[in-house]
Amino acid sequence: MKTMEPVNVIGAGMTPFGILDDSIVQLAEKASFKAMSDSQTLDLQFDHIVVGSQNPDEFVNKGHLSTLIADRLGLVPAGATRVETGPSSGSSAFETAFTMIASGHSDLILVIGVEKMSEVDRGTASKILAKMMSYENETRYGATPTALAAMVTRRYMHDYGLTRDDLSLVPVKAHRNGAKNTLAHFQKETTVEKVSNARVVADPLTLFDCCPTSDGAASLVLASDRIVRDLGVSDQAVRVLGVGHGTDYHAVQHRLSMTSFGATIAAADRAFSIAKIGPADIDVCELHDAFSILELVNMEDLGLAERGHAIDMVKEGATEVDGQIPVNTTGGLKSRGHPTGGTGVAQIHDIYCQLLQKAPKGLQVEAPKIGLTQNIGGFGNNMVVGIFSTP
């Protein structure tokens, strides 16, 4: 592995997630000003701004978004780039910024993940999101992301004996955490009975198994060690230990398994290799649970649970805030919400807060040292994994 310059997250900011009145640019502004204020960089000139956003052209009829945001934030003439890898766009924007600092190219970069999805109706939003799937093999026959998630769920149930009520434990935990997160889209608890008996969206998935379409933004300030020293912010400089990125075949039918994502395994292997640690070292994680089944599959692909046994950890309370490996402590995509381009950056925001002991009341993990994020692009074919440590 070639030598890389150290990279630090020195500030983070986030808007509420939900159905919001703010425009996509206003959301980006609010999250960014919070991150810059947090990091004492409001008066500094950034080298670059990297924006992750999946479909602003279609959701809000906005193009050239990175330059527009740079202008509105007063960051001209900093370089401005927009990154798109589906719902993992935010994490890919983070990875881009990480690479620029690790290579020695830049010292100070603003990362923004943002999406404004509520300006179109749910049916239109579903059509826009379905464009990330294979037309030839999937969408031309009526498939949607929810339908593919239902297929994964049914196969997982067949292979490992997962029951409907077992699966319901995952969104119940998500809503329990989200109820304590004032930035979450859904801030209300639910029950196994309500989840299992809710309206079926794509059998066996019910309404409570599926994340909402949300508006929202999150932002990070990434800095080199030199900037950390100059600003005197070493006490809040969360170190980026490693980042991994992996892909898989575009169409689900061409992949080796329906109950495992090879792209997550590849991304995790890369991230763990760079970080020089393993799954057993992770204290807290934020995983991409757009559908309930994905939390279980992701845990297993990351090596946090044995194949087919992630649900046992959920039942035992191991994934709770006070458990052995807390998962999605602020509600995950299911309860915190899922503005697609914003999710990956929001995950890192929440891990940053956990590692600095700044999580919302009732959601703080006890003395975590290392955190992990996993963000899915497409339907399981463009994954980014990040690993972070305390100052």
* Residues 6+ away with beta carbon under 8 Å from 225: 5, 6, 8
In sign, the C-alpha dihedral spanning 278, 103, 347, 61 is negative
Token duo for residue 234? 């070493």
Contact 241, 210 (CB under 8 A): no
Token duo for residue 390? 């305390």
pLDDT at residue 117 in the model:
98
pLDDT at residue 1 in the model:
57
Q: What pLDDT, in 10s, does the model give residues 313-362?
A: 999 999 999 999 999 999 999 999 999 999 999 999 999 999 999 999 99
Residue with tokens 């994905």: 294
Q: What pLDDT, in 10s, does the model give residues 210-220?
A: 999 999 999 99
In sign, the C-alpha dihedral spanning 189, 191, 192, 198 is negative
* Strand-pair category, 48-52 with 79-83: parallel
In the chain (391 residues long), the average pLDDT of successive 10-residue segments reads 90 99 99 98 98 98 97 98 98 99 98 98 93 93 95 98 99 99 98 98 98 98 98 98 98 95 99 98 99 99 99 99 98 99 99 98 98 98 98 91
**DSSP label at 161?**
-
Alpha helices in 185-261 (DSSP H): 192-196, 225-231
Cis peptide leading into residue 204 (ω within 30°): yes
How would CATH label the architecture of 8-120+213-389? Answer: 3-Layer(aba) Sandwich (3.40)
Give the type of residue at 211.
C
Give residue limits of the domains in the chain: 8-120+213-389
